[in-house]
Structure 1
C-alpha cells in the first residue's frame, strides 16, 4: 500500500510518495515553489530538456525491465528542440515508464524517484577561490 508524507524544505511543503519498491518526490510541489499557478507548464518544460530525458531513460533502463528503449531513443533525439513537447502522461504511456508517477486527486501530481539519505548530515561543498581563481573544496556538514 502506498504511503504519503510531507517534508518541509526552505518553508515549502513537499509530498513524498512511497510504494513497495521506490520512493518518489512531488515535482508538482517543487514547481509550485517556482510558480504556483503554472506547475504543469514547469514540469513539461523540465521534461523537454535533453538532460532530463537522458536521466529518466537511464533510471528506467536500470530499474524497469518493461521499459521501451526504442520509444526512448525517439524522444532522446528530439529532446531540446523547440518543437519537442513532453508530458508526464505521454512519457509513461509511450515508454512504459515506472520512474515518473502521475496521480490525480487531492494528493495528486507528478512524482519522480527520490533517494533518501541514510545519514543525518548532508555534506555541502564550500568553494573558496585562491588568488588565481582556482577553487579549493572543503566539506562541511549542515
Structure 2
C-alpha cells in the first residue's frame, strides 16, 4: 500500500473500539491490533503472530495477495507456506510484509500505530478470534460505511447546489449582455449552450457533445462525472465568466483566461488538505 493512510473512523464492536484507516480509495484497513485486544488485552501482538503461524492463514493471505497484488513474491510465499504449522515457525506481520511485498497487511507507527489489514483479511482474522465478535464488527462497520456515504452525498449535493446557483448568475449575465432583444428562443438556447461549452473546454478540455461521444455508455453528462475539485472550480469559473461577459471580453479572450484560472485552481485544490478531508469522509 504505497499511498499514505488517514484515520477514517472507529468501529464500536460490543464496547470495543477498533480503528479504521483508508489509503485514499475505496479500500479500508481495519486494526488487527484492536481486534486482537478482545482476546488478549495485554499482548495483542502475540495474538496476531499466533494467527500468522497457521498454514490456513498463510494460504488465505497468499491467495488474497495473488488476486490483488501484481508484485507479490510467490517464492517467498511458498517458503512460508511450507514452514507454517511447525512448532518452530514464527511469523510477524513485519516479516511477512518485508519478505513477500504484501499489501493486504500494513504495520504503522505513530498515533494510529499497530497492525492493520484490508477489510477482507480483517474479517477473516476476526472469525479466528471470535465468530460472535466478528458479527459485532461487521454490523458497526456497515454503520460506518453508511455514515460515510451519507456525508459524501451531502458534500456532493452541496457542491452541485453551489454550481447551480452560480449557473443562474452565469446565464443571467449571458441574457443581459450577449442576447439581443427579439432573438428566438431557439437561438437563445444556442448561445447558452455555447457559453456552457466554453466553461467545459476551459475546465475539461472538451465540449459536452465530445464527452458524450467518448462515453456513450455512461448516463448523465460531463459534469455529473466531475471530481469534487472540478465542481468547486466550475462554480468559480461560472462567476468569473459572468464578470468577464459584463466587461465585454470576447469569447476567445475569456476562454484563455478561464483555462488559466482552471489550471491554477485545480493545482491548488489537489494539494489542499481541507478538500482531501471532504473526499475521505
Q: TM-score, normalised by structure 2?
A: 0.41
Q: Please list every run of 5 or more consecutive structure 2 residues that lacks an aligned counterpart in the other structure.
A: 121-140, 147-281
**Looking at both structures, which has the greater relative contact order when contacts are Cα pairs under 8 Å and sequence separation is at least 6?**
1
Structure 1 residue corresponding to 2:72, chosen from 61, 67, 80: 67
Q: State how far apart, in whole Å, the 2-side matches of 1:69 and 1:20 are.
A: 27
Aligned residue runs from structure 1 range 47-58, under 5 A: 47-58=52-63
Matches within 5 A, 1:11-90: 11-21=15-25, 22-90=27-95
Q: How many Å separate the matches in 1 of 2:24 and 2:80?
A: 29
| Structure 1 residue ranges (4+ consecutive) displaced by more than 3 angstroms after TM superposition | 115-120
Q: Equivalent residue for 1:113? A: 118
Higher helix share: 2
More strand by share: 1
Aligned residues between the structures: 120
SS at match of 1:105: coil
Quote the Cα distance in structure 2 between the aligned partners of 1:100 and 1:23: 11
Instruction: Find the residue that maps to 1:34 and give its secondary structure.
Output: coil
Aligned-residue CA RMSD (Å): 1.9
CA distance in 2: counterparts of 1:72 and 1:20, whole angstroms: 27
What residue is the counterpart of 1:133 in the other structure?
Answer: none
Residue 14 of structure 2 corresponds to which residue in structure 1? 10
Partner of 1:123: none
Superposed displacement of residue 117, structure 1: 5.3
